[in-house]
Structure 1
Amino acid sequence: MNKKLNLNHSIKLLSIFVLIIASSCASRKDIVYFQDEPLNEDSQLENMSELSYKTNDILTIDVSSIEPAAVMPFNLSPVSYANTNNSSSLNANGNLLRQTYLVDPNGNIEFPVLGTLSVGGLTRTQATEMLKEKLREYVKDAIVNIRLINFTVTVLGEVNRPGTYTIQDERISLSEALGLAGDLTIYGKRDNVFLIREVDGKKKYAKLDLTSINVVNSPVYYLTQNDVIYVEPNKAQVRQSTYNQNTSVIISAVATLATITAILINSN
């Protein structure tokens, strides 16, 4: 009788321990990002053949001409700071920092001589033509070069190097962005890559299937500034994820408890 009671008691202890271990396992709800946003027709994104300027974009604008003196008033001078011991006032070549233009919440920049210019929503080509038109009153055959210097994309989830990446060019594909992040890990869900993009102040979403060649024809295959890419973990990775990652301790505890159970049983 005592043997049976000890056995039942040991089984209960083992059951409780197994439940504790099971409860430490992370579910998909605990692990996967962006789960509760339903995708609908309003969330579909259009093809961005050329990026357009948005609020908080930082631009450099250079105006040149065969008459350098004529364009001097339209170019911001490089800046320095009172204490030039601060290396942040120098660029990689040791030169003074260039001044830049910040696109304000209304899509405007303040340009020398010309005043307030609306560039929000314009592509680089459109903004260049607009500036050339306004400069014709002052400069003959002005050359305008505009660059976006804070074009970043963020790659999260099951990639080898998640992070935010600054893009030197003004065009990057989904494949190139994933390449910067070291490609997907073996645990990345390749048929469900999530993209978040802000359009006209609203967040929009898309999901992409990297296992299909047709992904290159997707309207969101080419990214725009501030896009966020998230690679969801597959089921195997979710199952392996636990709040307590010390597997060796768990195995040791189970073995110890099994030994105690065997001793209790054999002692009666």
Structure 2
Amino acid sequence: MKVFIPAVLLATVTSCGTAKKIAYLEDVPDSLYNNTFTTTVSTYTDPVIKPNDILQISILTLDPQANSILTAANSASFAVQSGSISASAPQSINGFMVDKEGNIELPLAGKIKVQGSTTTEAKEMIRNRIAALYRDPVVSVRYINFTITVLGEVARPSSYTVPNEKISVLDAIGMAGDLTIYGKRDNILLVRDSADKKIYARLDLNASSITQSPYFYLRQGDVLYVEPNKAKIASTDAHRSRNITLAASGISVLIILLTRL
């Protein structure tokens, strides 16, 4: 009974302290049946290609033989993990890795510097190069290794390879199966590589203003970390204290038995 009462009090205190921070975007009015609530969204800019990025490049011309040469030769096979919600085995996809000088090398077209360009700009550069050899080529360029990582208090912490470049913080959390009840929603940590430095930013999922953050849209290699809230920490401490108490009680009983022998 003495153990039960403090446990109840602990659960009551921690639940009261965190109940108001469970809902996302809680500053959005809950009576919008006849009206709407609008807010601005951070301007999305296409990510630029960097060394070690892996690009899937498809080139189609009127010459079927040229198509197989342009897209298959000199490309390497890379294993990537699907970004779908259900777990799946890594898939093998052919792609071109951007070298440390920022170039890719295509058959017949040679080296093309793509570093600092978006995939749309890279597509036009490749198309112009191939157009000098073949009439009306059709080119597509996309990332193979556009990967984001979600860690901490989420249902499925993991790295996810996403099929497109435009992914928001909410999209990433959705792929990870949403935050657990113990996730701190008002203090999500984002870690981003930028040239030779790390950028750290904090995001508040409780506020609708998150859409205005310059970090609302993620970049290749971003890491999101969801910290545990006070309820999780308190429950962990309570569990540890209970184990210590039980261990101490067991040792006391053992000592008493030994002294009576």
For Structure 1 versus Structure 2, the TM-score category normalised by the shorter chain is: 0.5 to 0.7
Question: Is 1:175 aligned with 2:170?
Answer: yes
Match of 1:65 in 2: 61
User: Please, which of 43, 49, 62 is the counterpart of residue 45 of structure 2?
Assistant: 49
2:108 and 2:170 map into 1 onto residues whose CA distance is: 42
Match of 2:26 in 1: none
CA contact 1:109–1:117 (8 Å) conserved in 2: yes
Question: Is 1:203 aligned with 2:198?
Answer: yes
1:245 and 1:47 map into 2 onto residues whose CA distance is: 47
User: Please, which of 144, 150, 167 is the counterpart of residue 149 of structure 1?
Assistant: 144
Match of 1:3 in 2: none
Q: Offset of 1:99 from its aligned partner?
A: 3.3
Equivalent position amino acid for 2:125 in 1: M
Equivalent position amino acid for 1:50 in 2: D
User: Please, which of 229, 234, 237 is the counterpart of residue 234 of structure 1?
Assistant: 229
CA contact 2:191–2:198 (8 Å) conserved in 1: yes
Q: Which has the higher contact order (CA 8 A, sep 6+)?
A: 1
Q: Offset of 1:104 from its aligned partner?
A: 1.6
CA contact 1:61–1:100 (8 Å) conserved in 2: yes
Q: Offset of 1:227 from its aligned partner?
A: 0.7
TM-score calculated relative to the size of structure 1: 0.65
Equivalent position amino acid for 1:100 in 2: G
User: Please, which of 209, 215, 227 is the counterpart of residue 210 of structure 2?
Assistant: 215
Match of 1:17 in 2: none
CA contact 2:75–2:95 (8 Å) conserved in 1: no
CA contact 2:73–2:107 (8 Å) conserved in 1: no
Equivalent position amino acid for 2:122 in 1: A
SS at match of 1:141: coil
Q: Offset of 1:68 from its aligned partner?
A: 2.6
Question: Number of matched residues?
Answer: 202
CA contact 1:79–1:98 (8 Å) conserved in 2: no
CA contact 2:102–2:114 (8 Å) conserved in 1: yes
Larger Rg: 1
Match of 1:74 in 2: 70
Larger mean Cα displacement after TM superposition, 104-113 or 70-79: 70-79
1:204 and 1:47 map into 2 onto residues whose CA distance is: 19
Question: Structure 1 68/201 Cα, relative in aligned 2: closer, same or farther at 3 Å?
Answer: farther
Match of 1:120 in 2: 115
CA contact 1:48–1:224 (8 Å) conserved in 2: no
SS at match of 1:190: coil
Question: Structure 1 120/189 Cα, relative in aligned 2: closer, same or farther at 3 Å?
Answer: same
Question: Structure 1 160/195 Cα, relative in aligned 2: closer, same or farther at 3 Å?
Answer: same
Q: Offset of 1:49 from its aligned partner?
A: 2.1
Q: Offset of 1:47 from its aligned partner?
A: 5.5
Match of 1:27 in 2: none
Q: What 5-or-longer segments of structure 2 have no aligned partner?
A: 1-41, 80-90, 257-261
CA contact 1:189–1:234 (8 Å) conserved in 2: yes
SS at match of 1:127: helix
Question: Structure 1 74/246 Cα, relative in aligned 2: closer, same or farther at 3 Å?
Answer: same
Q: Offset of 1:60 from its aligned partner?
A: 1.5
2:53 and 2:230 map into 1 onto residues whose CA distance is: 38
What's the CA shift string for 1:120-177, capped at 9, x where partnerless?
2211110001111111210111100112111111101111211111212222111111
Equivalent position amino acid for 1:237 in 2: K
TM-score calculated relative to the size of structure 2: 0.67
2:93 and 2:230 map into 1 onto residues whose CA distance is: 49
Question: Structure 1 170/79 Cα, relative in aligned 2: closer, same or farther at 3 Å?
Answer: closer
Match of 1:266 in 2: none
Cα root mean square deviation, aligned:
3.3
Q: Superposed, which structure 2 residues align to 1:95-134 within 5 Å?
A: 99-134=94-129
Q: Offset of 1:71 from its aligned partner?
A: 4.0
1:50 and 1:248 map into 2 onto residues whose CA distance is: 52
